[in-house]
Amino acid sequence: MARTRSRYAPDRGLTTRMVSTMFFIGLLYVVLVGVLLAVLRGAWPVILVVAGGLFIAQFWFSDRIAAYGMGAREVTPQEAPELHGAIDRICALADMPKPRVAVAQSDVPNAFATGRSEKTALVCATTGLLRRLEPEELEGVLAHEMSHVAHRDVAVMTIASFLGVLAGIITRVALWGGFARNSRGNDPAGIIIMLIPLISAVVYALSFLLTRLLSRYRELSADRTAALLTGRPSALASALTKVSGQMARIPTEDLRKAEPYNAFYFVPAFAAKESLGRLLSSHPTLEQRLDQLARISAGLSHP
């Protein structure tokens, strides 16, 4: 029997964006594979097996790979009583099953959630975050991460990101492998082969933009629903301000290690003050997030 919904406020905008993102990226994926099948007719079993195998592997193991890459280690209530206690309170508020709890040994103050579903979910906080935040601030951050689990947008982002990565791989193979070396004149097959790098590049670019748009919205959604669930938007705003301010004090080497996983983090980590990563960030700006929380706080004060 399916479990009833959590008490996190539903977000139709987020649901619409997740469905739309999966539809359009899935369509691009199908078109891309279709082109490869049309061009490399004799190799269709290999194409289907490889593409299907990569997709299944990404869906089933990507959360574990991400958690491992970010140094997450599951901890018991005895090892991290404050962290477990905060998550217990949020689960009680949200009427959700408790996820696995982990800690990452990193001075970068951050938190993240992974998992394909509530049953496989893992919520992790870094030692840097646990050391810097007050209990109410920590609960706000963890409520934000639990919102990703409740709305299942972590799984959507994982799948969506993989489709873009696959298109990028095919683009590089096409360019480095010289797919067009046998094309001559107006040979239709040669023209199609010439188009493979272009089609793959378009798939990669569109999927990248779609996942970025979804990611920015889902972060605002998690802030909003976490603030409404806990009833303390000011605590989450304080945590955002504190964590963002502390990032400037973290060694560049540590920030570089964290940067590849920014889409999962509570606050993105950037190794450079000005970079393309900031322009195409997976998160809205700090000002946007604080402004939203201020409006929620005003609304709660004047019902």
Flag whether 144 is marked binding.
Answer: yes
Task: Please state the φ and ψ torsions of residue 102, each to the nearest 5 degrees.
Answer: -140, 160
Return phi, psi of residue 235, to 5°.
-70, -40
- The H or E element that residue 288 is part of is helix 286-301
Which residues, 6 or more positions from 188, have their beta carbon under 8 angstroms from its beta carbon?
Answer: none
Residue 295 in tokens: 């409006």
The answer to the question of whether 302 is labelled as a binding residue is no
Q: Which residues of 204-223 are buried (b: 16+ CB within 10 A; e: fewer)?
A: bebbbebbbebbbbbbbbbb
Is 219 one of the annotated binding-site residues?
A: yes
Q: Catalytic residue positions?
A: 145
CA atoms within 13 A on the CB side of 291: 5
Binding residue ranges: 144, 148, 219
Binding residue ranges for Zn(2+): 144, 148, 219
